[in-house]
Structure 1
Amino acid sequence: MRTRWFDRPLETIAMLWHIERADGIALGFAAHDRDLVIGHVRYHAAPGMLPSAIEMDDGFDPLDMDVGGALSHQLIRADDLEAGRWNGAAIRMGLVDWERPQDGAAWFWHGHLGSVSIEGQQFTAELRGLKALLDADYAPTSSPSCRAEFCGPGCGLSRARFERIGVLAAVEGDALVFEGLVGPDAAKLVQGQVRWISGACAGLDSRIIDHDGPGLLLERSLAPQPQAGDLALLIEGCDKAFATCSARFGNAVNFRGEPHLPGNDLLTRFATF
């Protein structure tokens, strides 16, 4: 690996992009006119993928930038971008000497993809660096609802108890009907997730916002639409209310909220005698 860059009158440098999507797909691209193989990973030629100006400093403010390119590469498809397969993908950028790719790459930026927009045959994706994590609240904010993610850190419940594999029986309008799922079971899935594990939607997930009898209503429509016989992981949800945590899950001891704390409306109430 080269230890110094941009120290010669004529450089043979290509920029690399290594992307790992949430659905488990890992892709590599090189701002070069031919594919490069580095560390058993093929970086596909994508000379049209260029970042905005790269700025790095030792401060704590997030330094965001964008990457843009043409929807011309077969691995960058508009339907995948619109379906959200690229949202939140882990990404790293680096440099390589394309005359000596066997020397490896020098990685200089790590982060993830933010919002992705498409205009015509061009796409633009926001790049969010590791310092963006500093935007999170330093201390938890009081709230009447639970701050913990259901079955996540602080909740204490095992997700294995509240998930099942379902087989899609039919798509009725905006509702998805799964085999063997009845109304009471569908109600438990509200605020949960559907995570597809087979079919054209494999790797995608969507939040369940309501149910119509046994049919599940999702937060957003999927493209392409799932078909009967597709398998999905159905994960129950929680409305983060103290009553639900106590009565339904028996988990009040781990409730991460302040349900009895007086709110701002206390100041506007009329005095009673």
Structure 2
Amino acid sequence: MADFNEELAAHLEGGLTTVCHAWAITRKDGEVFAFTDHDMPLSFAGLEFRADTGLSALALAQSTGLSVDNSEALGALSDVSLREDEIEQGRFDGAEVRAWKVNWADPSQHWLNFRGHLGELIRADGGFRAELRGLTEELNRPLGRVYQKPCSAVLGDGTCRFNLAQDSYSQTLPVQTVEGGRRFAWQDFLSFDADWFTRGRLEILDGPAQGLWGTIKSDRIEDNVRIIELWEPIRGDVATGTQLRLVAGCDKRSETCRLKFNNFINFQGFPDLPGEDWVVSVPSSTNVNDGGSLR
């Protein structure tokens, strides 16, 4: 890259330049979309950059300190580039973004001048506006332990360490009935207790919505019909017969960790922390005030 920078710098110092911008978006599922604001496609860095997408960028703000680099990208929605339904489904949320300044007359002269992730995406009038967040955005994340009674881990993550692949904690099955991508129902699906999947996940395994998932709001049984409702609808088409996976839920309580998952050794909460009633306790004239506990 250093050689390319030197060549591009020499080109820029020449006065008459042939420079454009190029962008590559890499989604979390591995799909890569590459664009350029030049009027012809370009090829470099192992990518083919499309020229018919209408993607452009506003002024890029960068600094040498620790402030967050930021910019915005504008683009047109189309079936061959960024589709409206995929943005609506959240498939571009948190995608990696790379931006180059490139000599379109000699694409080997290119300089990577921005690297970060997509933030908020707004759709309007057949186009979109995407917020770009630089690498220093990660410095805004809170770090350290949270001292609280409930467990701070996510079920199955590196701190929880619970194996969700066990048959008694997940179930793969086809959709029988679905309403609005939010309410799912099955006849005679009674192999798990009611509320077993509450606060768990519903993951779509095939079809147009493959890869999407939702958090389960409630799991109940009514007249031998199991009804699972999500907090928010799946943002994609889910039809009868679509394969999905249900994952058991956890309410973060120590009793649940011990009895439902037998995983109390990895519990990440502090169940013996005193509650708010203890914090606001004060001496009372009706009690014995001998210097002992107020409880």
2:126 alignment counterpart: 121
Rounded to whole Å, the distance in 1 between the matches of 2:249 and 2:18 is 53
Question: For structure 1, which segment, 19-28 or 239-248, has the greater mean C-alpha deviation from structure 2 after superposition?
Answer: 19-28
Give the direction of change, closer, same or farther, for the CA distance of 1:87–1:268 in structure 2 (3 Å limit).
same
1:168 alignment counterpart: 175
SS of residue in 2 equivalent to 1:166: strand
Kept after mapping to 1: 8 A contact 2:150/2:253: yes
SS of residue in 1 equivalent to 2:131: strand
- CA RMSD across the alignment: 2.5
Instruction: Select which of 244, 267, 270 maps to 2:279.
Output: 267
Rounded to whole Å, the distance in 1 between the matches of 2:23 and 2:269 is 41
Q: Between the two proteins, what is the percent identity of the paired residues? A: 28
Q: State the shift of 1:201 in Å.
A: 0.6
Taking the TM superposition and a 5 Å limit, the aligned residue runs for 1:78-227 are 78-101=84-107, 103=108, 105-161=110-166, 162-172=169-179, 174-177=182-185, 181-182=189-190, 184=192, 187-213=195-221, 214-227=226-239
SS of residue in 2 equivalent to 1:246: helix
Rounded to whole Å, the distance in 1 between the matches of 2:175 and 2:214 is 15
Q: What TM-score does the superposition give when structure 2 sets the normalisation length?
A: 0.81
Give the direction of change, closer, same or farther, for the CA distance of 1:224–1:141 in structure 2 (3 Å limit).
closer
Question: For structure 1, which segment, 84-93 or 167-176, has the greater mean C-alpha deviation from structure 2 after superposition?
Answer: 167-176
Question: For structure 1, which segment, 144-153 or 22-31, has the greater mean C-alpha deviation from structure 2 after superposition?
Answer: 22-31
Count of aligned pairs between the two proteins: 272
Determine which structure has more spread, i.e. the larger CA radius of gyration. Answer: 2
1:62 alignment counterpart: 68
SS of residue in 1 equivalent to 2:159: coil
Instruction: Select which of 26, 30, 38 maps to 1:24.
Output: 30
Q: State the shift of 1:99 in Å.
A: 1.9
Q: State the shift of 1:226 in Å.
A: 0.2
Amino acid at match of 2:106: R
Rounded to whole Å, the distance in 2 between the matches of 1:13 and 1:163 is 53
Q: State the shift of 1:256 in Å.
A: 1.0
Q: What TM-score does the superposition give when structure 1 sets the normalisation length?
A: 0.87
What residue ranges of structure 2 are gaps of 5+ in the alignment?
Answer: 288-295
Kept after mapping to 1: 8 A contact 2:97/2:117: yes
Give the direction of change, closer, same or farther, for the CA distance of 1:154–1:126 in structure 2 (3 Å limit).
same
Give the direction of change, closer, same or farther, for the CA distance of 1:268–1:178 in structure 2 (3 Å limit).
same
Per-residue CA deviation, residues 226-255 of structure 1 (Å, 9 max, x unaligned), is 011212233322121111111111111211
